[in-house]
């Protein structure tokens, strides 16, 4: 699980964390009312750690489960807690897989 070290993140940082283009995050912001980053006077978006977790939930529903946006919105409305738990579990599994791959790569480099 990723630890947040800042109160606010710019859209480029969030896009890198989640692995999606900035344009996708901006589009999702227009479609999902739960995603509402703060903006400064220049219009720069600033995402809180909570916003990042919400985006991860949307990414889980849309990219991992293959739901359409309308179905993802409905799922978030009806089962927010369940979606959050599943998305967090999937993120942890991805982290474990990445660590295991690093270990395998290290072992292979020793041979």
pLDDT of 24? 95
Mean pLDDT of the chain: 86
Residues 6 or more apart from 92 whose CB is under 8 A from it? 1
What element of type H or E holds 9?
strand 9-10
| 3 state SS of 45 | strand
Between CA 52 and CA 68 the distance in angstroms is 20
Does the pLDDT value for residue 16 go beyond 90?
Answer: yes
For range 89-106, the mean pLDDT: 83
Q: In which residue are the tokens 């998305």 written?
A: 87
Q: Summarize pLDDT for 48-89 with one digit per residue, the tens.
A: 998 998 898 899 889 888 999 999 888 888 876 666 677 677
Q: What percent of the chain has pLDDT over 90?
A: 44
pLDDT of 83? 66
**CATH code for the part of the protein at 9-110:** 1.10.1660.10
Nearest to 59 by CA among 20, 23, 22, 105: 20
Between CA 42 and CA 63 the distance in angstroms is 31
């Amino acid at each position: 699980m990723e630890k947040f070290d800042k109160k606010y993140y710019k859209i480029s940082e969030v896009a890198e964390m989640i692995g999606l283009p900035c344009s996708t995050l901006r589009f999702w912001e227009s479609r999902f009312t739960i995603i509402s980053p703060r903006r400064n006077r220049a219009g720069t978006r600033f995402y809180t750690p909570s916003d990042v977790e919400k985006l991860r939930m949307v990414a889980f529903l849309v990219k991992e489960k293959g739901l359409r946006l309308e179905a993802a919105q409905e799922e978030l409305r009806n089962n927010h807690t369940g979606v959050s738990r599943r998305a967090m579990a999937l993120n942890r599994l991805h982290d474990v897989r990445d660590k295991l791959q690093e270990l395998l790569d290290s072992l292979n480099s020793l041979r």
